[in-house]
Amino acid sequence: MTVVIEAGWSVEIYYREVKQTCGIERCQARTSRTQNNHIFLAISAWFEQYKRRVSQKMSFYLISKNGSGLKP
C-alpha cells in the first residue's frame, strides 16, 4: 500500500514542478496539435531541468528560490 501512496505522491510532485517551472498551464493554444506541442515541450523542459538537478544535486526549492539556479 505504501508503494502506491509513494507513487501517487511522486506524480503530484512532478505535476507541481511542471506547472510552476515550465508554464504548462499557461497554454493559450486553440488546436489540439498546438496544445500537444506545448505540453510536449513543457515536459521536455522539465526533464532537462530534472537531469541537471540530479547531476548537480540541487533541490527544486533551491532552483525556484534562485531563478533557474542551474549552472551552465
Would you state the pLDDT for residue 1?
Answer: 66
Report pLDDT for 68.
53
User: For all residues of the chain together, what is the average pLDDT?
Assistant: 79
Rounded to the nearest 10°, the torsion over CA 1, 9, 54, 18 is 150
Q: What is the pLDDT of residues 12-21, one digit of tens each?
A: 888 888 888 8
Residue 51's H or E segment, with its range, is: helix 32-56
As a whole number, mean pLDDT of residues 1-26 equals 78
How confident is the model over 22-34, as a mean pLDDT? 88
pLDDT digits (tens, 9 = 90+) for 41-63: 999 988 888 888 888 888 766 76
Domain ranges across the chain: 2-65
